[in-house]
Amino acid sequence: MGTIDSETADRQLLALLDRYRCPLPFHAARAQLLGALVSPASDYSSREALAALWGKKSPAFSSGDSEIDAVLQSLSERLSHSETTGETFCLTPLDTQPTREELARLALVRREEIDAFVAGLFGNEEALELTKPAHAALDSMADIRSLLQHLRNFLDDPMKRSSPEGIAASLKSVQDMMPPLETAMNKVLQQCSAVRKQGVRKVKGADTNRVLH
C-alpha cells in the first residue's frame, strides 16, 4: 500500500475538521496533531490526540468511523515515511503579500503552529524527558517564536509606523526563519518518534519543559 501524499493527507484532515466544526484553524490543528502523534507522553492514543483538538467539547467519534481512521492512518504513514526517506514536514503554505496586514497574519500563523505543536507534544504532561537534540530543537523554536511575537506586537500597535520597504524587509526575514523552523520541528518529530517507539520517558524536572512564551 503506497504512502498517501501530504496534500491528500491535509485534505482529509481539513474535511474532518470541517465536518466536526473544530475550533482550531487548520494550521494549528495539524501542528498539534503531529506533535501529539510522536509525543512520548503515556496513555495518549491517536484518537485521544485527535479529540484534544476540540478541547473539553470533543465530539463523540464513532469507533468505526472510516474517515477518522483514514486521517490517522495517513498521518502515521506520513511520519513513518519521513523517518525512512528523510522527507521533511513542511509548515502550512501561505501566499503572503508585502503588506502590514498580511505580514501580521503570517507572524500569527507561524507562532500558532509552534504553540500548537508544543501543546500536542506535551499533551497533559508538565514535563517530559527528551533527547538533547530534541531539547536543542525546542530551544530554536522558542527563539523563533519570540521573534515572531515581537513582530506581531509591533504590527498590532497602530502607533508604530512602518514603511513599505520596512514591511518587505521584515517579510523576507520571517520567510528566512521558516527553513530553520521546519528543521527544528522535524528534528523534534524524528527524535520523539524514536523515543515513543522505545517506550514512555517522563520526568518531573521543570528544565525539561521550556515554555515557549
Q: What are the residue boundaries of the structural domains of the chain, listed by start? A: 6-208
CA distance 113 to 94: 13
| Residue (of 206, 181, 66) closest to 126 by Cα position | 206
| Topology given in CATH for the domain delimited by 6-208 | Four Helix Bundle (Hemerythrin (Met), subunit A) (1.20.120)
Can you give the pLDDT of all 213 residues of the chain as single tens digits? 455 577 888 898 999 999 999 999 999 999 999 999 888 876 667 888 898 999 888 887 776 778 888 888 887 777 776 666 666 678 999 999 999 999 999 999 999 999 999 999 998 888 888 899 999 999 999 999 999 999 999 999 999 999 999 999 999 999 999 999 999 999 999 898 888 777 655 444 434 444 454
Amino acid residing at 190: Q
Provide the pLDDT for residue 212.
54
Q: Quick check: 30 and 10 in contact, CB under 8 A? A: yes
The grid cell for 59 is: 465530539
The sign of the dihedral angle between the CA atoms of 34, 36, 41, 43 is negative
Q: How many CA atoms lie within 13 A of 145 on its CB side?
A: 20
Provide the pLDDT for residue 211.
47
Q: Cell 470541517 belongs to which residue? A: 18
CA distance 128 to 115: 16
Provide the pLDDT for residue 85.
60
**What are φ and ψ of residue 11, in 5° steps?**
-65, -40
Provide the pLDDT for residue 77.
77
CA 21 from centroid of its chain's CA atoms: 19
Provide the pLDDT for residue 72.
83
SS3 95: coil
Provide the pLDDT for residue 42.
61
| Residue (of 124, 31, 141, 139) closest to 75 by Cα position | 31
Residue 86's Cβ-count burial label (10 Å; 0-12, 13-18, 19+) is: exposed
SS3 160: coil
Provide the pLDDT for residue 206.
37
The sign of the dihedral angle between the CA atoms of 29, 34, 35, 38 is positive
